[in-house]
């Protein structure tokens, strides 16, 4: 981070929040001061130099707005970030009018906090620089110089905001490295930028992705991962320049995972201090994004392992479900390919397919395993399996979309399905895909109370009910897939 050595005042009446923020900022080598009341904070302000303050709106003695006022009167260059768990529009507006640099709503993500801290620290540096210039202004030329500098800094802050927005908009299936390289090319307009994976065992840097202005440019050079190279970049979180190329490390939990390589600068081939700052901002933001993704995937895999245990339990009760869910999953994936669905939708189908009948674990054996057709009362109970499945999945917060797909996979295009009678585009697309595959497999499978239809007859049924039971476009794609198959 670029906060090393900063003096930060934390003001919050929650001991847990103070400790959490203190631990997080101390890891970035910040000098942290803590106060659990407004008056204690103002006393610390008199005795210590403070560069950034994080102030809670609700304090036991005086409110955070009053503390903000006092801080700005004491030193207008102190950057103040207001926090609250109960946001009110008038508080936000009042705080920003009185000079607050930002406003965060509890609970907030620590990586978001650190990005805010980096930004406000940079803004404070600008304020200090501008204050120094203002104090020494003597003539019109200096005023014009200040305006030009301010304009440059505004452009820089706009670029920083653009970088953060681009990276924050990435979904779980987007290629982070590809996006990083693309952003660098856009922001700095360099002829080439690439990302190297660090292979420490072989002592090599392997080029993973590269974007160049034109094919006429030479390829990024092969690089050895020497101890000297690592020490000059990763130990100090710095960078190294070789010829006309700049190398910046991506570091996660103290380990270097790779390097961003930027090259082809015109003129003397040197990068300015401002350009290096932006490149460091990008690599640090990307490192944080990758670390969060690794944690997400670890949690995701743990949840899928738990769901697998539930699937095994269902399969032991009803052997039909095991084969059925597997076949529906395979068909859904093939149909997604034919329909050219987005990666996110394909991933959702891959997860939901094997567990779309998860709710059957809540159906009594007398109904689930009945060797004859269900009567109306029994069928009403069986229909609840989609709701049970949703309830189980909703227990895992990161599977809320998958839970929604399970709830609605028996809805009909004409609105006559269950449990909510959704129709047409109200039904999630993944549900409409599963509905066709689910029905086809059910029709072509033997059950104790019915013989399986031939594939030809089942296909005819899908065609017949396209537009009523099934989405006509999905049904059409399914039929074309069957013809090819």
Architecture per CATH, domain 318-484, reads as: Orthogonal Bundle (1.10)
Q: Where in the chain is the domain with CATH 3.30.450.40?
A: 176-292
3-class DSSP state for residue 50? coil
Q: What is the largest CA-CA distance in the chain?
A: 97
For residue 174, with 0-12 CB atoms within 10 Å meaning exposed, 13-18 middle and 19 or more buried, which class applies? middle
Residue 88 is predicted with a pLDDT of: 73
Residues of the chain with pLDDT under 50: 1
* DSSP state, residue 453: P
- Radius of gyration, alpha carbons of the chain: 30
Whole-model pTM over 0.75: no
| Domain 176-292 grouped into CATH 3.30.565.10 | no
Identify whether the C-beta of residue 62 lies closer than 8 Å to the C-beta of residue 36: no
**DSSP label at residue 466:** B
**Residue 420: predicted pLDDT:** 94
The pLDDT, as a whole number, for residue 463 is: 93
Helices (H), 78-139: 89-97, 110-136
How far is 375 from 392, CA to CA, in rounded Å?
26
Strand order in the sheet with 7-11: 31-35, 7-11, 52-56, 79-84, 102-105
- Residue span(s) of the chain under CATH 1.10.3210.10 come to 318-484
Please report the pLDDT score of residue 91 as a whole number: 73
**How far apart (Å, rounded) are the C-alpha atoms in residues 14 and 421?**
47
Q: State the number of CA atoms in the 13 A half-sphere of 484 facing the CB.
A: 10
The helix (run of H) or strand (run of E) holding residue 81 is: strand 79-84
pLDDT at 1: 43
- The CATH code for residues 7-136 is 3.40.50.2300
Backbone angles phi, psi at 444, to 5 degrees: -100, 15
Per the CB < 8 A criterion, the answer to whether 252 and 288 are in contact is no
Task: Evaluate the CA torsion angle 116, 119, 123, 125 in order and state its sign.
Answer: positive
Q: Are 407 and 386 in contact (CB under 8 A)?
A: yes
Q: How far is CA 188 from CA 170, 271, 414, in A?
A: 20, 10, 53
């Amino acid at each position: 981070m670029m906060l090393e050595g900063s003096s930060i005042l934390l003001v919050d009446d929650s001991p847990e929040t103070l400790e959490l923020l203190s631990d997080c900022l101390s890891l970035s080598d910040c000098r942290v001061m803590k106060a659990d009341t407004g008056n204690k904070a103002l006393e610390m302000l008199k005795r210590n130099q403070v560069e950034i303050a994080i102030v809670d709106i609700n304090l036991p003695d005086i409110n955070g707005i009053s503390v903000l006022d006092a801080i700005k009167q004491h030193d207008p260059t102190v950057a103040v970030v207001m926090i609250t768990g109960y946001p009110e529009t008038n508080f936000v507006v009042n705080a920003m009018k009185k000079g607050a640099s930002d406003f965060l709503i509890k609970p907030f993500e620590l990586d978001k906090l650190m990005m805010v801290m980096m930004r406000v620290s940079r803004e404070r540096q600008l304020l200090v620089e501008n204050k120094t210039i203002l104090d020494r202004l003597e003539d019109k030329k200096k005023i014009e110089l200040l305006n030009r500098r301010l304009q440059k800094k505004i452009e820089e802050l706009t670029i920083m905001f653009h970088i953060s927005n681009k990276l924050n908009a990435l979904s779980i299936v987007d290629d982070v490295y590809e996006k990083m390289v693309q952003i660098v090319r856009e922001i700095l307009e360099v002829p080439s930028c690439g990302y190297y994976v660090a292979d420490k065992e072989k002592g090599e840097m392997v080029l993973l992705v590269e974007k160049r202005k034109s094919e006429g440019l030479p390829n990024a050079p092969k690089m050895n991962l020497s101890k000297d190279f690592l020490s000059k970049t990763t130990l100090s979180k710095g960078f190294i320049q070789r010829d006309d190329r700049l190398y910046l490390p991506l570091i996660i939990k103290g380990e270097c995972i790779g390097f961003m390589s930027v090259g082809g600068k015109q003129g003397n081939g040197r990068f300015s201090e401002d350009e290096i700052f932006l490149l460091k901002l990008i690599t640090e933001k990307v490192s944080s994004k990758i670390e969060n993704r690794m944690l997400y995937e670890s949690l995701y895999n743990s949840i899928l392992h738990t769901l697998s245990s539930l699937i095994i339990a269902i399969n032991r009760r009803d052997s039909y479900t095991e084969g059925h869910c597997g076949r529906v999953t395979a068909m859904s994936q093939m149909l997604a390919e034919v329909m050219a669905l987005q990666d996110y939708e394909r991933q959702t189908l891959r997860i939901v397919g094997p567990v779309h009948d998860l709710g059957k674990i809540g159906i009594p054996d007398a109904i689930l395993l009945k060797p004859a057709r269900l009567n109306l009362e029994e069928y009403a109970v069986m229909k609840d399996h989609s709701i049970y499945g949703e309830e189980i999945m909703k227990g895992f917060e990161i599977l809320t979309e998958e839970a929604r797909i399970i709830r609605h996979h028996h809805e009909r295009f004409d609105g006559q399905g269950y449990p909510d009678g959704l129709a047409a585009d109200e039904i999630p697309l993944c549900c409409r895909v599963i509905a066709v595959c689910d029905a086809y497999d059910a029709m072509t499978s033997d059950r104790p109370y019915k013989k399986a239809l031939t594939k030809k007859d089942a296909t005819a049924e899908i065609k017949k009910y396209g537009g009523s039971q099934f989405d006509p476009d999905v049904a059409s794609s399914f039929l074309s897939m069957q013809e090819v198959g």
